[in-house]
Structure formats: C-alpha cells, structure tokens
Amino acid sequence: MQRYFIELSYKGTRYHGWQVQPNALTVQEVLETTLSTFLRRKIEVTGAGRTDTGVHASFYVAHFEVDELPFALSDLVEKLNRFLPDDIALHRILPVPGDLHARFSAIRRTYHYYISRKKDPFTLDTSYPYLLPLDLDAMNRAAALLTSEDDFTSFSKLHSDVKTNICKVYEAFWKEEGGMLVFTISADRFLRNMVRAIVGTLMEVGRHKISPDEFREIIALKDRSAAGTSAPPQGLFLAGIEYPVIP
C-alpha cells in the first residue's frame, strides 16, 4: 500500500470546514467522494488539521493510501480537477514514505488573516471589512509578544479535546498590503480558534481598548474570557505547512 500526499487549496465559504461531519458539506467529504469515484474503491483522506466553517486554505495537505493507481500522477491531478468544484483545486499528488503523516508529521504551520481597509464587494468572502482606525504599530508590538510565550489557553476554544495548550510561535506580525492589513503567524501547532481569537484581541489593541502590556497580561491569565472576541472566519487562510522531508 502506497501513501500519497495531496497538495491543494480551497475557498471555504460554502463549506462547514475541512472535517467530515453529519448533515453538512465539508472539503474532506467532497475530496473523498471524488477520489473514491476515480479510483473505484473507498478512499479515506486524512487532512493536516481542521479548518472552521468559512475558513480558507491557500495551501493544504492531506494524505491517502492505495495499492495502485489507474493513471499517472500528473494525469490524475488533471482529471480530478475537472470533476472537483471550482472552489477546490489540486496542485500536486506525490508518493511519500508510509510513516509521513499529513497532520502529525507537520513541524510548522502558517496562517494569514486579511482585514480589508476599504469597502470592496469582491473581497467580502475572503477578508474582514473593517474601516475604523487601527494602530498598526501597537498591534505589532503586542503581536511580537507571542513569540516569547508558550501557553495560549487564553486564545483556545473552550472544552476542546487537546491534551495541552502549549505552542511555539515562531513569528507574528502585521503589514499593510494593497488596501489590506495582513496578519501572519507561524507556529509548530495551533489550538482550535487560536488565530481568530488572537486577531480579535490584537484588534482591541489597535483600537486602543487595551495596551500591549495588557495583551501580555491576558496571555498570562490563561483565561479565554479575558481575551477579545474572535475575528470572523472569512479573513482567515491556512497558507503554509512544512514537513521534515518532502520529495
């Protein structure tokens, strides 16, 4: 049995996230159905992690296993893309060692969050329109504190099933880019709702409702109720996943 990685992207607007769930359309379900149809056997796909309803992925990785392929890999990507909906695109399918896991072998993930600074009907599904003033310098001072912390309980979804809220954040910063404020954050792992909770709280810093020092205190409290409201899902993109070895 050979394991294959799939590199893909998707617009999450009409999906209830990545993971299969009852009575809801998900990216995983669509991908499994399409693969099973083409390969003429039941295919189960394992993703690099969950994304919530309305969240997008400009880069995502999943894996599946099959004993043989009826097409060359390059042909399979082309054929699958013809039948997948327009909001899911496959970029590459490649064989990998059997112990390389799309979720558990990942060593670094990167997210982007987009805030639109002008009214634009064409970015409503892919950014958070917010036209009031935001202090970008203060938001960056607060964001920089994330790299020196490790317990992110204050930004974790309550009652989740994870065993630890410890994460290593490698970088976190804001920049202006073509009428957008773009937040970039990279870490070894992320908690459920973590990025959106961080963005919502950093926006409170940008509105001068809290200071960067108070942002640090919120982290230290390890209390989700101390942090701000989560930013809306449509501005969030999973943008990068790194592995120790990819052929």
Does 116 lie in the same domain as 74? no
With H, G, I as helix, E, B as strand and everything else as coil, classify residue 101: coil
Give the per-residue pLDDT at 64.
Answer: 97
The number of folded domains in the chain is 2
Summarised one tens digit per residue, pLDDT across range 221-238 is 999 999 999 999 999 999
Summarised one tens digit per residue, pLDDT across range 202-223 is 999 999 999 999 999 999 999 9
Q: Would you call 114 exposed, middle or buried from its count of C-beta atoms within 10 A (0-12, 13-18, 19+)?
A: buried
CATH code: domain of residue 87: 3.30.70.580
Give the per-residue pLDDT at 247.
Answer: 54
Q: Rounded distance, CA 103 to CA 245, Å?
A: 14
Domain range spanning residue 14? 2-96
pLDDT at 157 > cutoff 90: no
Beta bridge partners, 180, equal 116, 177
Does 70 lie in the same domain as 170? no
- Residue 214 resides in a domain: yes
Does 185 lie in the same domain as 67? no
Give the per-residue pLDDT at 122.
Answer: 94
Does 124 lie in the same domain as 156? yes
Q: Rounded distance, CA 198 to CA 83, Å?
A: 37
Give the per-residue pLDDT at 8.
Answer: 98
- Residue 247 resides in a domain: no
Instruction: Please give the span between the terminal C-alpha atoms of the chain, in angstroms, as a whole number.
Output: 18
| Dihedral, CA of residue 79, residue 81, residue 84 and residue 86, to nearest 10 | -150
CATH code: domain of residue 203: 3.30.70.660
Q: Which of 37, 91, 101, 92 minimizes the C-alpha distance to 65?
A: 101
Does 92 lie in the same domain as 26? yes
Contact residues for 33 (Cβ-Cβ < 8 A; gap 6+): none
Mean pLDDT of all residues in 87-93: 96
Q: Can you give the pTM of this predicted structure?
A: 0.95
Mean pLDDT of all residues in 33-54: 94
Which H helix or E strand runs over 34?
helix 27-39
Mean pLDDT of all residues in 159-174: 88
**Domain termination site, one of 75, 96, 117:** 96
Does 91 lie in the same domain as 40? yes
- Residue 28 resides in a domain: yes
- Residue 103 resides in a domain: no
Does 131 lie in the same domain as 84? no
- Residue 101 resides in a domain: no
With H, G, I as helix, E, B as strand and everything else as coil, classify residue 76: helix
Give the per-residue pLDDT at 106.
Answer: 97
The confidence band for 162, taking pLDDT boundaries of 50, 70 and 90, is: confident
Residues identified as active-site: 52
Please, are residues 76 and 84 in contact by the beta-carbon 8 Å criterion? no
Summarised one tens digit per residue, pLDDT across range 14-34 is 999 999 998 899 999 999 999
Does 112 lie in the same domain as 30? no
**Domain termination site, one of 96, 129, 158:** 96
Q: Rounded distance, CA 57 to CA 48, Å?
A: 11
- Residue 102 resides in a domain: no
Does 138 lie in the same domain as 169? yes
Q: Rounded distance, CA 156 to CA 181, Å?
A: 23
